[in-house]
Amino acid sequence: MRALKPVVFLLCLLPFGWLVYAAGTNALGPDPAESIMHLTGEWSLRILLVTLAVSPVRKIWGWRWPMTLRRMLGLFAFFYATVHLASFGHFYIGWTPAILVEELVERPYITVGALAWVLMLPLAVTSTRKMQRRLKRNWRRLHRAVYPVAMLACLHLLWQARSDLGEPILYSVLLFMLLIWRLPVYRSRRSDVLSG
């Protein structure tokens, strides 16, 4: 399983590599900025959903190895979300604070997306084992923020979709299933704590 991490790392990096290649060869279509925004945003959400699927996979099939990939997957989700946000800042508002405030007020889906990134930031910063040891139980509580992050990301995508709602609905349904799967797990843990 040692070879698995480098393979998954390269797979997660492939979309970004293709993006760099496409940008260099003018293959991003008539609106390159929109293509970069679209691709990085969707890959962030896709990898985030895969990250959330790690626990169900481990529980259902009894595989331990997916847990070794969870941190890396979460950081890649944050990486693509950061490129997504940076693309918006560079191409659409030119890093102008006044325009940013105007966009946040006038376009709720941008507010939702920005909030998702803000919630992801402390998760990325505290993703190391050192921080996990330092925060102890609070680390687990903090990292439960990944659930509202995923919900906000799905809402962000769904809200800005115009005619093609297929992918946003698919991601939302997948997230709903992953959250529903966790309900009995959470309830059993809570009852164990209360009875203990």
Give the pLDDT confidence of 129-187 residue by residue, as tens digits. Answer: 999 999 999 999 999 999 999 999 999 999 988 778 899 999 999 999 999 988 865 55
**Of 80, 52, 54, the residue nearest 68 (C-alpha):** 54
Q: What is the mean pLDDT of the segment spanning 47-66?
A: 92
Mean pLDDT of all residues belonging to the chain: 91
pLDDT level of residue 189 (50, 70, 90 thresholds): low
pTM of the model: 0.91
CA distance 53 to 146: 12
CA-to-CA distance for 84 and 41, rounded, in angstroms? 5
Which of 2-6, 18-22, 35-39, 131-135 shows the lowest per-residue confidence on average (mean pLDDT)? 2-6
pLDDT at residue number 194:
43
Position 119 pLDDT exceeds 90: yes
Dihedral of CA atoms 17, 20, 24, 29 in degrees, nearest 10, equals 100
What is d(CA 116, CA 41) in angstroms, rounded to the nearest whole number? 11
Given pLDDT bands bounded at 50, 70 and 90, which one contains residue 28? Answer: very high
- Residue 93: exposure state from Cβ atoms within 10 A (0-12, 13-18, ≥19): middle
Task: Report the distance separating Cα 42 and Cα 68, nearest Å.
Answer: 24
pLDDT score for 161: 81
- For 30, the 3-state DSSP assignment is coil
How far is residue 169's CA from residue 160's CA, in Å, rounded to a whole number?
A: 12
Give the pLDDT mean for 110-126: 97
Q: What is the mean pLDDT of residues 44-57?
A: 96
Residue 88 to residue 61: CA distance in whole angstroms: 40
Closest by CA position to 108, among listed 152, 63, 140: 152
Domain ranges (residues) in the chain: 4-181
